[in-house]
Amino acid sequence: MTRYANKKAVVIGGTHGMGLAVAEALVDGGAELLVTGRNRRNVEAARAKLFSRAHVVRSDISDMTDIATLGAEVGQKLGQIDFLHINAGVSDLEPVERVTEESYDRAFNINTKGAFFTAQRLLPLIKDGGAIVFTSSIADESGTGGMSVYSGSKAALRAFAKVLAAELLPRRIRVNVVSPGFIDTPTMGVAGASAEERAAFMEIGDAVTPMKRHGTADEVARAVLFLAFDATFTTGARLTVDGGLGQDLSPIPA
Ligand SMILES: NC(=O)c1ccc[n+]([C@@H]2O[C@H](COP(=O)([O-])OP(=O)(O)OC[C@H]3O[C@@H](n4cnc5c(N)ncnc54)[C@H](OP(=O)(O)O)[C@@H]3O)[C@@H](O)[C@H]2O)c1
């Protein structure tokens, strides 16, 4: 396929889940790609999946030295890029009283600070007319119990994205956010979730989602790539991929 031939892209947090689905669609379409992840074993596995068509590197988004090194590596391997996808994110499900300074810092360092400084470092490498898509969550607006820190970290990310969209208007770089609901991924976005917890999470998601099912990583990837390449008159926007969960939908009363 040649859908993305001659396009160059970077996917931050693309070794499994939704980020990998975006990376796979891009390489299938002929793009040249650099993908990151933190866990070495997952980096190796993604490298095997994406064959030789993507540079897959270990880089921790919460480490400022790694961000600086990544900038140099992207410049050296790809040069100017068309699309930057900042997808890495983690969530600890914990009620307010269980939140620790450590879990708070972890969420904000990855989801918010890391995303911000990665965008800042890679900005000079994005072509004028290119695009950035951040992965947020419907939790960036909702009041779901157990997600105070995660929601705050993603709401801040959403705010950063809007200002970035405004500041990048002169360079015609569009900046948008995709906000998924319950999506079937290896972690479901929840750090250290056991198989049982993941299954329970999925069951709750299917029950509360108006479309009565969870989404797939491919469904999110299609929305991300729409924002990246097709939505040429859209910037500063938040696109939900949530089966209606964040939309306050009510069925017709019986
Ligand atoms: N799944 C859901 O239901 C859901 C819902 C709403 C929003 N989200 C958001 O969607 C995004 C993707 O979620 P997902 O479910 O696809 O998650 P996932 O399967 O856990 O994938 C996350 C990706 O980010 C990477 N990553 C994690 N920490 C990193 C770090 N410190 N530095 C660099 N890379 C790192 C992971 O690599 P390693 O772990 O191998 O290092 C992996 O490649 C996240 O931002 C999440 O918050 C998920």
What would the mean pLDDT of 94-111 be, rounded to a whole number?
97
Inform me whether the pLDDT recorded for 210 exceeds 90: yes
Establish if 92 belongs to a structural domain.
yes
What is the Å distance from ligand 1's center to 96 Cα? 22
Establish if 47 belongs to a structural domain.
yes
Q: Cα(first)–Cα(last) distance of the chain, in Å? A: 48
Q: Would you call 4 a catalytic residue per the annotation? A: no
Establish if 157 belongs to a structural domain.
yes
Establish if 124 belongs to a structural domain.
yes
Q: Concatenated DSSP letters for 111-160?
A: IIIIHHHHHHHHGGGEEEEEEEEEE--GGGT---TT-HHHHHHHHHHHHH
Percent of the chain past pLDDT 90, that is, above it, reads 89
Nearest CA to ligand 1 atom 41: 38
State which of 10, 18, 117, 190 you would mutate to test the pocket of ligand 1, scoring each by most atoms of that ligand within 8 A of its C-beta.
18
Residue 180: which pLDDT band, with cuts at 50, 70 and 90? very high
Check which CATH number belongs to the domain holding 183 and give it.
3.40.50.720
Establish if 156 belongs to a structural domain.
yes
Establish if 148 belongs to a structural domain.
yes
Position 200 scores a pLDDT of 87
Cα(114)–Cα(63) distance, rounded to whole angstroms? 7
State which of 137, 184, 214, 218 you would mutate to test the pocket of ligand 1, scoring each by most atoms of that ligand within 8 A of its C-beta.
137
Pocket lining: 189 vs ligand 1, CB cutoff 6 Å: yes
Strand 32-37 versus strand 8-12 pairing type? parallel
Tell me the pLDDT tens digit for each residue of 47-86. 999 977 899 999 999 999 999 999 999 999 999 999 999 9
Position 195 scores a pLDDT of 87
Inform me whether the pLDDT recorded for 87 exceeds 80: yes
Angle at 134 between CA 208 and CA 186, to 5 degrees: 55
Inform me whether the pLDDT recorded for 105 exceeds 80: yes
Instruction: Please give the residue range of the domain that contains residue 19.
Output: 8-236
3-class DSSP state for residue 102? helix
Spot the catalytic one: 83, 150, 182, 229: 150
Establish if 224 belongs to a structural domain.
yes
Pocket lining: 130 vs ligand 1, CB cutoff 6 Å: no
Give the type of residue at 148: S
Cα(95)–Cα(216) distance, rounded to whole angstroms? 27
Q: Say how many domains are in the chain.
A: 1
- Global pTM? 0.98
Residue 253: which pLDDT band, with cuts at 50, 70 and 90? confident
Q: Which of 21-25, 67-71, 150-154, 192-196 is predicted with the least confidence, judged by mean pLDDT?
A: 192-196
Position 71 scores a pLDDT of 98
Establish if 1 belongs to a structural domain.
no
